[in-house]
Amino acid sequence: MIKQVLLSIFFLVFTTQIFSQNTVEELSKKLENTTDKKERLEILHEITKKTIHENSDRKIKFLKEYIALAKELKEYDKLGNKSRFLIEHFTSISLLDSTKYYVDQMLGYLPLYKDPTTEAHLLLKRASYYYNTDQYEKAIKDYNRSGDIFIKANKGLINAADARFFAAQVYNDLNDFLDAVTNYEEAYKLYDQLNDNFYKNLTLADLAGIYSKNGFHEKSITERKRVLANAKETKDYISLCYAYGNLAKINQKVKNFDNVKKYIDSTYFFIDSIQNKQQKVLSKLFLANLNIDYNLDLGNVTLAEQYLEEAKDWVKKTSAPDFFQRMNYEYQGKVYVQKKDYTKAENAFKKVLALKGQEGQQETIKKAEKEIAKVYGATGQYKKAFEHLNTYLELEETDNTLIKDNTFLYYQSKFETERKDQEIFKKKTEIELLEKDQEIEKYKRRVTVALLLIALLIAFMIFYVLWRKAKRKRRALAREIVDLNTEVTTKKEEVNELLTETIIHLRSKEKLAENLSKLSHEEEGISLKSIIADLKADKLEDAKIVVLKQNIESLNYEFLKNLKNLHPNLTKTDIEVCSFIKIGLSRKEISNLRKTSLDAIKSTRFRLKKKLNLTSEDSLDDYIRSL
């Protein structure tokens, strides 16, 4: 059954490679037969995708061709994005000068990029170059800038997580504990958001390591347990093995050997479930070294030596046996010390001390200085023992000072964070109280509105009762008004009659004036007696004019009242002229009624316009009729 499964997997991989090969070959032929540059760029894009995925040797050729064509077509974002795979290749084979050359060249097009993440990708690659050339401050600057761009653009968040993760590693190498913790935590949140379980657990593992390194063993255990919870959920057996193994190491430091044994046994339980062959070998080597330390602490030298031989066998099966052999000299030296084989122990620890200056080996070097001092002390080489012990104490003092400083900074940071949290809580409480006050105010407003409505209802009822009473009064008044209107109508008729008679009178005056004129010329038919008779009749008409004026004043009472209120400076003559204008008499008719000349009436009208504050364009008649 297992053979059949293996054969099926082999057949699937083989056919996939053949299919991919054919596809690349087909695309290459298509590229040869295409002259349109934009189409060639699209074909090269597909070819580079496939060759990068296959990690084919031909990828470099196609990548360079794509970059050259994209530059020619001025497709700068495509140029920058594709170049990162070429840069990544040079970094992976340690051609760092080529890495730097291409990064600088691509960043030279920065003003031409439309997509901000193009710059972020290139900064990520340049940071890797700086890290590999020990320019840590520059590396941190580029990692932080790259991560910020990705997060701001809300695009390529996996790269933002990587930027934070790598920045944390650099901070850790620089012993910048707080910034390392901050960046690991940010990286974890991003990986968690993206459901990248492998890097999520790797981040927690590194975070646990940095806590342990700085003396925060409880926090380290907490982070390891978080790794366990995540790894169990996702069946990540590699992370499970290392999490249990590191928990064993932490408990070994505090001499809790029961827990050490428990966690080592848990590591054994999951180790065979690892599918990746090389990862399984490395996990077995890690477990063998755990057993060496555990048995040496218990004084079981024989068992420790057996696990040492087992570790040597696993070292040979790794992909880098020389590297892992150097890492394993520490365990050999410890076993030889317990066996009192000081010559072999000295040689082993010297090989460990040869790793001085290599990144990440400080703790191993410090332990080796202490152990070789014991060896020299046991063999009577006290001067050498003193020198190495002094070096160990200096390293230990440096570490302790660093741990103290980091501990102080950590708790200071936590204190400040808690204080900020308290301030935020206080603000939230104030906001909540304010919201409650607003709710109370709303309730008060609702009650007030309800009371107002009740008051309005009561007022309406009172109003209705009063309105009913007023209605009855209005009806009575209406009857009175009808009677008054009838009286006014009668008065108007009388006025009209008087007006008619007045006009006749005026005409008779005109006739009288004409007769007088004829008399002066001694015309026939005109006698003094007839003129005296007309004058006697005129006296009678003057009496009618007085009656007419009184009736006009009575009918225009409201008008005259308004006129006097608005223009209290008007004379009696002004008011009388305004009354005549109001009833529609012409200038000539007014002059006849007032027994004045037409010019006098014109002057009166002119003065009136000034007194009424009217302009030359304004109509006096229209204004008076509007009142």
260 has pLDDT over 70: yes
- Mean model confidence pLDDT for the chain: 80
Predicted local confidence at residue 397, as pLDDT: 80
Predicted local confidence at residue 410, as pLDDT: 61
Predicted local confidence at residue 522, as pLDDT: 46
516 has pLDDT over 70: no
16 has pLDDT over 70: no
- Please list, in sequence order, all residues whose beta carbon lies within 8 angstroms of the beta carbon of residue 202, skipping any fewer than 6 positions away: 165, 239
* Lowest pLDDT segment from 84-93, 168-177, 231-240, 542-551: 542-551
Spatial contact of 239 and 286, defined as CB atoms under 8 Å apart: no
Domains and CATH numbers, the chain: 556-627 (1.10.10.10)
Predicted local confidence at residue 508, as pLDDT: 56
Distance CA 350, CA 336 (A): 13
**Nearest Cα to Cα of residue 75 among 26, 41, 24:** 41
Spatial contact of 424 and 232, defined as CB atoms under 8 Å apart: no
DSSP secondary structure string for all residues of 541-556: HHHHHHHHHHHHHHHT
Distance CA 582, CA 622 (A): 9
pLDDT in tens, 347-358: 988 888 887 777
Spatial contact of 145 and 123, defined as CB atoms under 8 Å apart: yes
pLDDT in tens, 294-323: 998 898 999 988 998 998 899 888 888 887
pLDDT in tens, 455-514: 888 888 888 888 888 888 878 877 777 766 666 565 555 555 556 656 655 555 556 556
> How many Cα neighbours within 13 Å face the side chain of 203?
27
- Burial of residue 73 (CB within 10 Å: 0-12, 13-18, 19+) is middle
Q: How confident is the model at residue 70 (pLDDT cuts 50, 70, 90)?
A: confident
* Lowest pLDDT segment from 59-68, 146-155, 544-553: 544-553
> How many Cα neighbours within 13 Å face the side chain of 472?
5
| Percent of the chain predicted with pLDDT > 70 | 80
267 has pLDDT over 80: yes
Q: How confident is the model at residue 371 (pLDDT cuts 50, 70, 90)?
A: confident
262 has pLDDT over 50: yes
